[in-house]
Every structure is written in structure tokens, then in C-alpha cells.
Amino acid sequence: MKVVITYCLPCNYEPRARETGAKFEAAGAEVEYVKGHGGIFDITVDGDLKFSKKQAGRFPTDEEIEALAKSGAKSGAPARS
């Protein structure tokens, strides 16, 4: 499973992105961090946008992150390079 977390650097979202990424890494995912701006905090799993702070109007909950990590790990899909 390949996870890309795009976060707002000027907003200081990097610590939250790293914390979120650690949960995916614990599930065996390969995590890439992409610096952005404009309040972005997006989680993409295997090329599919799974969470967008702009769309939801909030950060993902721990439960949402854990569900995404578990569902990706169960799919058995190989990580994309």
C-alpha cells in the first residue's frame, strides 16, 4: 500500500502528517510526505484520494485513519513505486 500525505507547510501541519503517516507505516504502508500550502491535508492511498481536509472541513479522526490503514492492509494490494 502506497500512501501520500500532502500537508500545508506554512500552516505547520507537518507534525500531524508525520503522526498520521506513522499509523499507516505501522500497518505496513509505504508513506510519502508532500509539502503543500493553502491549508491542504490530503491522504491518498494507492492513487485514490481517501481524505481531504478541504472537502471535510476538518482533520481526519484517529478512527478514520485507522480504518483507512486497516482497509488498505487487508486489500493485499502491492505498494506502487
Q: Measure the CA angle with vertex 29, ends 25 and 30; round to 5°.
A: 95
Q: Where are the domains of the chain?
A: 2-66
- List, as one string, the DSSP characters of 49-79: EEEEHHHHTSPPPHHHHHHHHHHHHHH-PPP
Fold of 2-66: Glutaredoxin (3.40.30)
**The residue type at 18:** R
Tens place of pLDDT per residue across the chain (81 aa): 999 999 999 999 999 999 999 999 999 999 999 999 999 999 999 999 999 999 999 999 999 999 999 887 655 444 433
pTM of the model: 0.87
